[in-house]
Structure 1
């Protein structure tokens, strides 16, 4: 099973009754363990959780702290990129050269690096 397969499988569990836009994410940590997450909507929209954030939370809860690879999938016309907040979250736990595969349920995909998603990312070095 590939990381994208893991993201595709967890996408089915997404709770998206308002947008019907289900997203699945899978993260391989540097330990080799795989963590998954799906979006969880809330009627008060800002209170929802993105798939990537859920996978990161599962990774941290398990004691891993470093992302080695990411896959994200949704039923969209083109490969779906992480939102801005999730780009920053990915940059917190993954190096600039970590690959992020973005895919559609129809089989299209694109792979970029975290640095491509968030050039000039805010980091601990900015805090002086």
Structure 2
């Protein structure tokens, strides 16, 4: 069984305790955009390090994200919270493990060998 984690999964201290109990080898991360962003009121927010400029949708341009809308790039924030909860300092290795898990579930015949190579080599694709 694999468990997917998104921003809504990181709302409360109890939720973060659950995240700590999920082995990274059985976890995937997602944004569930355009919803489920990590908000300032979420317990996981204390682990978020990245952010992007945002503007109201009426003033949107290509250099920002739409304010209040969760974007796919926010998966980085989910990664940061998972790493923070679990005390993992190597975000690159964690992201490779989670990518590998995703390939195992969704692309077992096509991309698993690429994910295996990426995971074991320590190189960026």
TM over 0.5, shorter chain: no
Length-normalised TM-score, structure 2 = 0.32
**Structure ID, larger Rg:** 2
Higher relative contact order structure (alpha carbons within 8 Å, sequence separation ≥ 6): 2
Query: Which structure has more helix as a fraction of its residues?
Result: 2
Query: Which structure has more strand as a fraction of its residues?
Result: 1
Length-normalised TM-score, structure 1 = 0.31
